[in-house]
């Protein structure tokens, strides 16, 4: 056999050449095309860059991570600690332990009006994982000569939907929105986009990255379009409703679950998780809920896939999930109020930044201003970095991070008019918001 060093030769020979010399045949091998063609997540990339710069001692103000700055409530942590100490450290049923699935199902019935049961719940390693597994169970790769199944996605939308849909074999059909209509689609737009090939309609309210929400009546009108299309053109249509931000609402619009509309309940998969509402991003806990016969089929399929993928999520977190859902209403309300104050503060400041146009956030913890008035200008430079030409949201964010140590997320990968916007996560103190926007004002004042 060729020159590939075995682990034993490497272990016994400390002077062995480093593995990455770049000259071996192995160095020319590639990873799979479907992953090498996948776009890395820009939200994760900017979040990690800001965290790395901070850990190097730089005075970075991070507004990139969609991550509450609060600690996980004590009662949730204690439930996990107790379970760990009590030896709850073994494999568990793949879709979650029955008691926790029941608590989640009862929550969805009680709070969201979704007709679901414990058998219709799949617990996964985060909302992103739930979405990934769901898409793998919904989309097929097209047979030779056949068109792909379509996924309707209103944009701007969170950066991970399109890659997750595409890697499952779906084709994304973007529906364009504008800031003037709070980045929301109309029932007519949805109706026009549905074809016999439509498999999925993805909706996310409150929205990441837009920070806006659909009203209950708007969602009911979209549900009627789905119900009608399902009876006629698109019998296989499934709604995937991402409700991760349901608890973070403060604009006077009530959160509504589209899966509670009886006509489409069975063809709706509701995705949620504990990351945002309970300040548990690092715990990686998400769940999906279906309804009726199809909903059970879909959840069971997710169980098959998760059984070949992750088995169960971390065993001792199940009691913590129950504690979060059942015992933290006061803490959740305290955090919601803090987000409401921050939303007001960030919006008031952003509307005074020259060239920024920003709809008022009503839910989630994002502001999504259009900064395209500054495209074509040159940044002032700062922190030892020379100024640069700003031709895009990416250029804007790169320059702002390098010159002012302020981390926003550029809007291109959210799709549609997002290319003119930057995402500002205000899951941080009002003091940080003020300091950050002071720096943005200095940066904008220096643009030429
Ligand atoms: N969902 C969060 C965000 O949008 C976390 C990072 C990610 O998963 O995209 O920032």
Closest-CA residue, ligand 1 atom 1, reads 66
Q: What is the pLDDT of residues 201-240, one digit of tens each?
A: 999 999 999 999 999 999 999 999 999 999 999 999 999 9
Q: How far apart are CA 15 and CA 23, in angstroms?
A: 18
128 CA closest ligand 1 atom index: 8
- Determine the distance separating the centroid of ligand 1 and the alpha carbon of 425, expressed in angstroms: 10
Q: Nearest residue CA, atom 2 of ligand 1?
A: 66
Domain boundaries, the chain: 7-67+331-445, 90-327
Q: Which helix (H) or strand (E) holds 62?
A: strand 61-62
> Which mutation among 157, 158, 163 tests ligand 1's pocket best, with the greatest number of atoms within 8 A of CB?
158
423 lines ligand 1 (CB under 6 A): no
Per-residue pLDDT band at 375 (split at 50, 70, 90)? very high
pLDDT in tens, 48-99: 999 999 999 999 999 999 999 999 999 999 999 999 999 999 999 999 999 9
- The predicted pLDDT at position 21 comes to 59
Range 260-283 average pLDDT: 98
Distance 227 CA to ligand 1 centre (A): 31
**431, pLDDT greater than 60:** yes
- Ligand 1 pocket check: which of 40, 44, 163 to mutate, most ligand atoms within 8 Å of Cβ? 44
43 CA to centre of ligand 1 in angstroms: 6
Percent of the chain's residues with pLDDT above 70: 95
How many residues are listed for the chain in this entry? 448
Distance in angstroms (rounded) separating the CA atoms of residues 367 and 343: 8
Predicted confidence band of residue 19 (pLDDT cuts 50, 70, 90):
low
One DSSP character per residue, 28-59 reads G----HHHHTSPPPHHHHHHHHHHHHHHTT--
Q: What is the DSSP letter of 323?
A: H
Domain 90-327 has CATH 3.40.640.10: yes
Q: Is 45 in the pocket of ligand 1 (CB under 6 A)?
A: no
User: Does residue 20 register a pLDDT over 80?
Assistant: no
45 Cα: distance to centroid of ligand 1 (angstroms): 10
Q: What is the predicted pLDDT for the residue at 18?
A: 56
pLDDT for res 7: 34
Predicted confidence at residue 22, as pLDDT, reads: 62
Q: Which of 3.40.640.10, 3.40.50.300, 3.20.20.70, 3.90.1150.10 is the CATH number of 7-67+331-445?
A: 3.90.1150.10
pLDDT in tens, 110-141: 999 999 999 999 999 999 999 999 999 999 99
Fold agreement between 7-67+331-445 and 90-327: no
- Cβ of 275 below 6 Å from ligand 1: no
Q: What are phi and psi of 173, to 5 degrees?
A: -110, 110
DSSP string, 90-121: S---TT--HHHHHHHHHHHHHHH-----GGGE
Q: What is the pTM of this model?
A: 0.93
Q: Is 309 in the pocket of ligand 1 (CB under 6 A)?
A: no
Q: How far is CA 245 from CA 188, 273, 440, in A?
A: 26, 9, 27
Backbone phi and psi for residue 409, each to the nearest 5 degrees, phi listed first: -110, 125
**What is the overall mean pLDDT for the chain?**
94
213 C-alpha vs ligand 1 centroid, how far in Å?
18
Q: Which atom of ligand 1 is nearest to the CA of 208?
A: 4
State the pLDDT confidence band at 16, using cuts at 50, 70 and 90.
very low
Q: What is the pLDDT of residue 407?
A: 97
Q: Is there an atom of ligand 1 within 6 Å of 207 CB? A: no
Determine if ligand 1 sits within 6 Å of the CB of residue 276: no
Going by pLDDT thresholds of 50, 70 and 90, the confidence category of residue 10 is very low
């Amino acid at each position: 056999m060729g020159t590939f060093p075995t682990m034993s030769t490497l272990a016994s020979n400390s002077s062995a050449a480093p593995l990455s010399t770049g000259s071996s045949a192995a160095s020319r091998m590639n990873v799979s095309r479907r992953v090498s063609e996948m776009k890395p997540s820009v939200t994760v990339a900017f979040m990690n860059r800001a965290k790395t710069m901070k850990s190097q001692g730089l005075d970075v103000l991070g507004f990139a991570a969609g991550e509450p700055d609060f600690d996980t409530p004590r009662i949730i942590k204690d439930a996990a600690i107790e379970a760990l100490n009590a030896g709850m450290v073994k494999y568990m049923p793949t879709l979650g332990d029955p008691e926790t699935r029941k608590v989640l199902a009862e929550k969805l019935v009680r709070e969201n009006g979704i007709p679901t049961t414990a058998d219709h719940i799949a617990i996964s390693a985060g909302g992103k994982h739930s979405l990934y597994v769901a898409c793998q169970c919904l989309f097929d790769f097209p047979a030779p000569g056949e068109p792909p199944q379509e996924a309707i996605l209103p944009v701007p939308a969170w950066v991970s939907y399109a890659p997750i849909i595409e890697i499952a074999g779906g084709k994304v059909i973007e529906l364009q929105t504008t800031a003037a209509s709070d980045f929301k689609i109309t029932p007519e737009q949805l109706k026009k986009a549905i074809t016999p090939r439509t498999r999925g309609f993805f909706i996310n309210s409150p929205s990441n990255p837009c920070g806006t929400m659909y009203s209950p009546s708007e969602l009911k009108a979209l549900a009627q379009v789905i119900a009608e299309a399902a009876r006629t053109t698109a019998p296989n249509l499934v709604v995937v409703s991402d409700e991760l931000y349901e608890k973070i609402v403060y604009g006077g619009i009530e959160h509504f679950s589209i899966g509670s509309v009886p006509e489409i309940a069975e063809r709706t998969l509701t995705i949620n998780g504990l990351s945002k509402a309970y300040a548990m991003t690092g715990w990686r806990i998400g769940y999906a809920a279906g309804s009726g016969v199809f909903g059970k089929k879909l959840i069971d399929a997710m169980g098959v896939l998760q059984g070949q993928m992750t088995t169960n999520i971390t065993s001792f977190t199940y009691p913590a999930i129950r504690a979060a859902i059942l015992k933290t209403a006061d803490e959740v309300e305290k955090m919601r109020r803090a987000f409401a104050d921050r939303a007001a503060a960030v919006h008031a400041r952003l509307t005074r930044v020259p060239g920024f146009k920003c709809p008022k956030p009503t839910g989630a913890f994002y502001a999504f201003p259009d900064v395209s008035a500054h495209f074509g200008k040159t940044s002032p430079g700062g922190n030892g970095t020379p100024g640069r030409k700003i031709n895009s949201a990416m250029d804007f964010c790169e320059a702002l991070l390098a010159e002012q140590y302020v981390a926003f997320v550029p809007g291109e990968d959210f799709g549609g008019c997002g290319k003119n916007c930057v995402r500002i996560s205000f899951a941080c103190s009002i003091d940080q918001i003020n300091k950050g926007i002071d720096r943005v004002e200095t940066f904008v004042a220096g643009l030429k």
